[in-house]
Amino acid sequence: MAQTDLRALQDTEFPVPEELQANIAITSLDKIYNWSRRSSMWPLLFGLACCAIEMIGTAASRFDFSRFGFEVMRGSPRQSDLMIVSGTVTKKMIVPIVRLYNQMPEPKYVLAMGACASGGGPFKEGYNVVSGVDKYLPVDVYVPGCPPTPQALLYGMITLQKKIDGQSLANLDDVPWYGVGPSEPTPVPVLGPDIIDPRQMELIREQAQQAALEAPFGARELPAWVNPTEVAQEATAVVETQEGAEDGVDPAKAARIRKREEAMARLAARRAAKGGQ
């Protein structure tokens, strides 16, 4: 890298002679440290789904992200700085993903590539799909698209470099890994009847018990503030009372009650079937 111009690194009031500025830089520790880090980010060779094809396309001959410092992709998490989560994260796969993330040395970054990794994407409603890798791992950059084009991915990666440029060793909220002692690994999810996040054991326990006592799944009422029918109903209720309409039962409410009853019947049938065997 003989051609490297060090002018970008200058971070001082101290006058460096003009003709030397390309070769000599007087700078701060933050700046040179970040500069060297972000100029050699090695991504983990790790593809999940469709986006991985575009990621390989970005790494390959035409777009070639080595030009931006993402020199080589490493097969081992021990040698990589950046995890590009390229594709749909499933419940079965999140377990290895968290393990891989834990094995990466700090400082480490996560880039959620595409709609699926960012929030579930087109497969969000799927029973085996985690709606976004950020449910388990801290994500630094989200790249939208399905799949993002190589241009979009490169832009996301350059955005990550900018983010690194802005980090400071002095600010531990920003970069927790410069604190004292090793940081805690992310707890690995467990595959039970459905995926279980160990960080939320207590919450799950409470809510599962509550759910079992009150009503079966699918019949659960929403809190008022998120229930759109109820909000709409409240808005119209004012008008209705003024008009003095007394039709009796509100149709929206009746529909909800009916749905609940149907679900209860389903549950009863299921329990009877279980008992019968």
Partner 1 sequence: MDVVADKTQLDISASVELLRERWPDAISHDNRDGFSGIIVDPAQLDDVALAMRDELGFDYLSSVTGVDYLGVADHMEVVYHAYRTSGGPALVFKAQTGRDDPRVPSLVSVWPGADFQEREAYDLYGIHFEGHPDLRRILLWDGFDGHPLRKDWQEAYYEEEHKPFDSRWPGGQVYRAEEKNVFGKNVKYPDDFDLGRLNDVSESDLYQGLGLGVDVQALDSDGLRTDRLVVNLGPHHPSTHGVFRMVVTLDGETIASLDPVMGYLHRNHEKIGERNSFLHNLPFTDRLDYISSMSNNLGYALAVEQLLSQGARYSPPTYRAECLRVLMVELTRIVNHLWSLGFLLNDLGAFFTPMLYANNEREKILDFFEATAGSRLMCNYMRFAGVYRDIPERIRSVANLVNDKVRDYNTMDYLTEMVNERLPRFLDEYDTLLTRNEILRERTVGVGVLLPEDAIALSTCGPLLRASGVPYDVRRADPYSIYPELDFDIPIGKNGDIYDRFLVRFQEMRESVRILRQILPRLERSQGEEVMSKVAHTPRVPVGEAYGRVENPKGELGYYVVSEGDPKGPQNPWRYHVRAPSFINLTALGPMCVGHKVADVVTILGSIDIVLGETDR
Within 243-272, the residues that bind partner 1 by CB under 8 A are: 266-267
Figure out which of the listed residues 5, 22, 106, 122 binds partner 1, where binding follows CB under 8 A. 122
**What residues numbered 162-181 form the site for partner 1, per CB under 8 A?**
none
What residues from 27 to 46 belong to the interface with partner 1 (CB under 8 A)?
45-46
Distance of closest approach, residue 26 Cβ to partner 1, in angstroms: 31
**Is residue 118 within the footprint of partner 1 (CB under 8 A)?**
no
- Between 25 and 47, whose beta carbon lies closer to partner 1? 47
Indicate which single residue of 52, 84, 143, 160 sits in contact with partner 1 (rule: CB under 8 A). Answer: 52
When the beta carbons of 25 and 230 are compared against partner 1, the nearer one is: 230
Burial tier of 252 (Cβ tally within 10 Å: 0-12, 13-18, 19+): middle
Among 10, 27, 39, 131, binds partner 1 (CB under 8 A): 131
- Of 92, 93, 141, whose CA–CA distance to 114 is shortest? 141
Angle at Cα 210 formed by Cα 220 and Cα 199, nearest 5°? 105
Task: Single out the residue of 1, 61, 173, 181 in contact with partner 1 (rule: CB under 8 A).
Answer: 61
Which runs of consecutive H residues, i.e. helices, occur in 78-182? 91-103, 114-119, 150-165
Is 242 exposed, middle or buried (CB count within 10 Å of its CB: 0-12, 13-18, 19+)?
A: exposed
CA atoms within 13 A on the CB side of 92: 4
49 contacts partner 1 (rule: CB under 8 A):
yes
According to CB under 8 A, which one of 26, 152, 175, 196 is a site residue for partner 1? 196
Q: Does 224 bind partner 1 (CB under 8 A)?
A: no
Say if CB 32 and CB 12 are below 8 A apart: no
Backbone conformation region of residue 173, classed left if phi is above 0, alpha if psi is from -120 to 50, else beta: alpha
Closer to partner 1 at the Cβ: 228 or 248?
228
Q: Does 75 bind partner 1 (CB under 8 A)?
A: yes
Determine, following the binding rule CB under 8 A, whether residue 57 of this chain makes contact with partner 1. Answer: yes
25 or 49, CB closer to partner 1?
49
Preceding amide of 228 cis, omega within 30: no
**Residue 256 CB neighbour total at 10 angstroms:** 17
The C-alpha torsion from 52 through 53 and 54 to 57, rounded to 10°, is: 120
Of the listed pieces 19-27, 32-40, 197-205, 245-253, which binds partner 1 according to CB under 8 A? 197-205
